[in-house]
Amino acid sequence: MKLKIVFQHLLFWMIYILYETAIGYFGGLGITLLGTLLAFTVNTGVFYAISYCYFQSRKHIKNAILLLLAMLCEVVVIIGISIVLKILVDIILDKIKFVDDINKERITTLIMRSIYFVIMGLAYSVFREVGKKEREVIILEKKALQAELNVIKSQINPHFVFNTLGFLYAETYKKLPEVGQSIITLSNIMRYALTKNEDGYSSLESELAYIKDFIKIHESRSKAFFMKISIESSAVPYKVVSLVLITLIENMFKHGIFNQNTKEAALRIAVNDGKLHFYSLNYKNNNSVNKVQSNGIGLNYIRERLTDEYGREGYELLIDETHNSYECKLIMPLKYHESN
């Protein structure tokens, strides 16, 4: 990371020096390569010196007035040193006497030039500080989201749950195979939901299997179930952001009607050109008392997670909600599973 920053700075100064050298050359200022390099050595010294002083002063001085006074003193000292150094450069290059180089016009020019690089250094320092704070906010948001997920997962003792489900399956499968199969499906759902993904991603294959099991559980509970489903798998080993799709599915079952053929729900999931296309439609049961309990993550988590991963323009999430219906469209990039 440090090498990258050093390279960026070197590239900036190379472009800047070439730019000013070209202006001076075509302007007939009679500049020389050695003189330009020595002058810019002093100028870049002013830039980084004022930047260093700014961060050190901000770190150790909390009072705004004292900070301003300290910065003014530092600016005066840095400008004074830069003027002396540039006069020495003139003496070395032009072989003139020190007293001959000191005049009001020359000193004024040197002061204005130094002030220019002081302003550049201060502007760079301020933008760098703002960028650092923004990065810290993003990191804190990530930690907060991860903490939220950890709290959700920690609310259930997974070993107790899986042992209980295993016992229920063993007791019911021979006599009631359909019930036994439902227990195994539920166990798979909970095992997947509680599986920790360090990078925040899950394989697309396991995510789709999770969704199918989730739907199967609710279908088995209903005497009538009307939902048009199209879930296309991909031969490419993709990874998808964890819990995003299942949260959208969860919202369907939380508010939807699935037992009326005139209000058939719809779900389509497909992969095209490395992107996942999700579409869902369900009619709302506003008087339902048997709503599926949400895992508490919700749409806010989805937007924050996708924005954090892809930026605001890197994905498309459209929600069209009316009093009677709920429609969702999501297009987001998939991550190639390098380990496969």
pTM: 0.47
Domain ranges, ordered by start, for the chain: 32-137, 201-336
Confidence band, pLDDT 50/70/90 cuts, at residue 73 = very high
Q: Which of 103-107, 234-238, 299-303 has the lowest mean pLDDT?
A: 103-107
Instruction: Check: CB of residue 71 under 8 Å from CB of residue 57.
Output: yes
Which helix H or strand E contains 17, and what residues bound it?
A: helix 2-26
Rounded distance between C-alpha atoms, residue 153 and residue 195, angstroms: 9
Rounded distance between C-alpha atoms, residue 269 and residue 228, angstroms: 11
Looking at the predicted structure, is the pLDDT value of residue 8 above 80? yes
Candidates 311, 257, 250, 249; CA nearest to 279 is 249
Instruction: Say yes or no: domain 201-336 is CATH 3.30.565.10.
Output: yes
Looking at the predicted structure, is the pLDDT value of residue 277 above 90? yes
114-127 burial, b at 16+ Cβ within 10 Å, e below that, comes to beebbebbbebbee
pLDDT tens digits, one per residue of 191-250:
566 555 556 788 888 889 888 888 887 787 777 889 999 998 887 889 898 878 888 888
